[in-house]
A and B are shown apart, each in its own frame.
Chain A
Amino acid sequence: QQQVKQSPQSLIVQKGGISIINCAYENTAFDYFPWYQQFPGKGPALLIAIRPDVSEKKEGRFTISFNKSAKQFSLHIMDSQPGDSATYFCAASIKNYGQNFVFGPGTRLSVLP
């Protein structure tokens, strides 16, 4: 019930294309859904996050879509660039308990020039 599933494991996209990464969860107590971006040799960095009271959040080329009834959320990267090549992790957390973050296994994105 604490698991967050993520797909695909790896993704190759042409420059200018749309990258889509999907995550699914079971625990309905989760109330915060962030996405982290990690470049090789670096720590993860918070990219964008959403709470379950909205269905979509957009920041620049990055959009989270959230489907509460299906218990799914996804990251869309519009106009993907080679600089977006990284590993992306979705996560979920329970109210007021940062220590209860559960991370997905990650998606390695490669954007070809």
Chain B
Amino acid sequence: NAGVTQTPKFRVLKTGQSMTLLCAQDMNHEYMYWYRQDPGMGLRLIHYSVGEGTTAKGEVPDGYNVSRLKKQNFLLGLESAAPSQTSVYFCASSGTGRKTYEQYFGPGTRLTVT
């Protein structure tokens, strides 16, 4: 039982390049989330999904797209990276009902955009 895994762990992009971050969970959770973490700002929600095939915008969605084609996977895409997207990205998942409140986080992806 690996929990929540993220690929890659580190990445350096040039401005304008694109990339996809992959999140996978093996807990059969319905809900999945993408956050970004910046110094002094806590975690901010980018996009989330309440089930396979569904996605919705969070607090800071601009410049990102997501897809949830399979229940266990949640992909975060950057179509044209900008230096402002330099951050640590965390994926999380949670169950339904009262279990929605218990979010399990992955180890993070550190992205640098030059």
Contact = CB atoms under 8 A, between A and B. Distances in A.
A25 interface: no
B31 A105 contact: no
Among A4, A9, A44, A104, the one with the most B-chain Cβ atoms within 10 Å of its Cβ is: A44
B105 A99 contact: no
B58 A103 contact: no
A103 B35 CA distance: 11
A43 B42 contact: no
A84 to B, nearest CB: 19
B45 interface: yes
A75 interface: no
Interface residues of A, number: 24
A43 B31 CA distance: 17
A69 B42 CA distance: 25
A34 B33 contact: no
Contact of B58 (A4, A41, A99): A99
B41 interface: yes
Interface string B43-58: 1110010100000101
A93 B48 CA distance: 15
21 contacts: A32-B101, A36-B105, A41-B107, A41-B108, A43-B4, A43-B105, A43-B106, A43-B107, A44-B43, A44-B90, A44-B105, A45-B105, A46-B102, A49-B101, A49-B102, A98-B48, A98-B94, A99-B48, A99-B58, A105-B40, A105-B41
